[in-house]
Amino acid sequence: MFRTDISTALTDLLLTPGLDLDVAANRHFAPDYRQRTDGRWDNRQEFLAHIAHLREVVAGGSVQVHDEVVDGDRYADRHTVSVTKNDGATVRMEVYLFGEFAPDGRFRRIEETTLMLEGTEDDRDLGSAR
């Protein structure tokens, strides 16, 4: 059975030039997907608006998963996202994530907290910027 993970999902969403946003989102996120980042809830449309904005800002990067646990329909991980922005600046964020899978193996819900490791004060909200 297919089951997504955060590294594959973020790579498709942010780090695969030319991959259509809707195609990437449909691979990894259920139609009723919702996400809370640093206390702010977004529905699927709001989440996709956030990703569309990041695609305009991010030139490249990587995702490193440090810890990952799957138990039934529950998912948790700790990962670091490192990006280079179009202006050449580097941003690194450590993310603590808890999620729930839909029956088809896509994410139905993610709740995450971010910790900026590298970047400017203006980059602090990169995890929820639009």
- How large is the C-alpha radius of gyration of the chain? 14
Q: pLDDT digits over 44-102, tens only?
A: 999 999 999 999 999 999 999 999 999 999 999 999 999 999 999 999 999 999 999 99
Tokens of 58: 């991010």
Q: How far apart are CA 107 and CA 117, in angstroms?
A: 26
Question: Does residue 125 have a pLDDT over 80?
Answer: no
Q: Where does the pLDDT of residue 123 fall: very low under 50, low under 70, confident under 90, or very high at 90 and above?
A: confident
Q: State residue 129's pLDDT score.
A: 57
Tokens of 120: 């400017």
Could you tell me what percent of the chain has a pLDDT over 70?
95
Tokens of 20: 């259509």
Q: How far apart are CA 29 and CA 94, in angstroms?
A: 21
Averaged pLDDT score across all residues of the chain = 94
Q: State residue 25's pLDDT score.
A: 97
Residue type, 84: T
Helices (H) and strands (E) in the chain, counts: 3, 6
Instruction: Judge whether 45 and 18 are in contact, CB under 8 Å.
Output: no
Q: How far apart are CA 112 and CA 75, in angstroms?
A: 12
